[in-house]
């Protein structure tokens, strides 16, 4: 019985993990901490069972390994390469970024309206945490 319960729990946990695939445009009105320069930002996300890729015109593709395996990405304007380590926390993908600009954490999930929410937190060199929350609307 215990084995059946554990298997059911694992199966339910896996089912809650969202697929972020699609073309998304930032919803500047709902977003917090975004600048007007973000108004026309569009990203294309492809995702399979182990990897997620985010493409944006003029910016290097960002790769996320969904199993906790670290992956290097180029961070234009943020100190070069950085290592992204992503793990699932229920239905939220939590990514810790090391290298380049230290102390960054990103949480991505789908809210009840179907919008993708991206919460970024960054620790400044002086100590305080700064954050921004971007809401994304699926356009394709």
Query: Domain containing 114 — which CATH number?
Result: 2.40.128.20
| pLDDT score of 40 | 86
- Reading the block at residue 59, the tokens are 């910016």
Q: What residues make up the domain containing 68? A: 2-138
Alpha helices for the chain (secondary structure H): 2-15
Residue identified by tokens 């921004």 is 132
Q: 62-79 pLDDT, tens per residue?
A: 999 999 999 999 877 656
**Global pTM?**
0.81
Q: What is the mean pLDDT of the chain?
A: 85
The total number of structural domains in the chain stands at 1
Is residue 100 within 8 A of residue 75, CB to CB? The reply is: yes
Which has the closest alpha carbon to 88: 18, 12, 2, 5? 18
Q: Rounded distance, CA 110 to CA 18, Å?
A: 7
């Amino acid at each position: 019985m215990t084995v059946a319960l554990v298997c059911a729990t694992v199966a339910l946990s896996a089912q809650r993990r969202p697929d972020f695939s699609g073309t998304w445009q930032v919803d500047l009105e709902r977003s917090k901490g975004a600048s007007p320069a973000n108004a026309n930002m569009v990203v294309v996300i492809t995702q399979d069972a182990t990897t997620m890729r985010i493409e944006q015109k003029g910016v290097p593709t960002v790769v996320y390994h969904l199993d906790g395996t670290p992956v290097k990405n180029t961070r234009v304007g943020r100190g070069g390469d950085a290592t992204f380590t992503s793990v699932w926390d229920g239905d939220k993908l939590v990514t810790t970024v090391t290298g380049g600009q230290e102390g960054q954490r990103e949480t991505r999930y789908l809210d009840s309206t179907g919008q993708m929410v991206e919460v970024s937190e960054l620790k400044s060199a002086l100590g305080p945490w700064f954050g921004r929350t971007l809401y994304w609307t699926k356009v394709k």
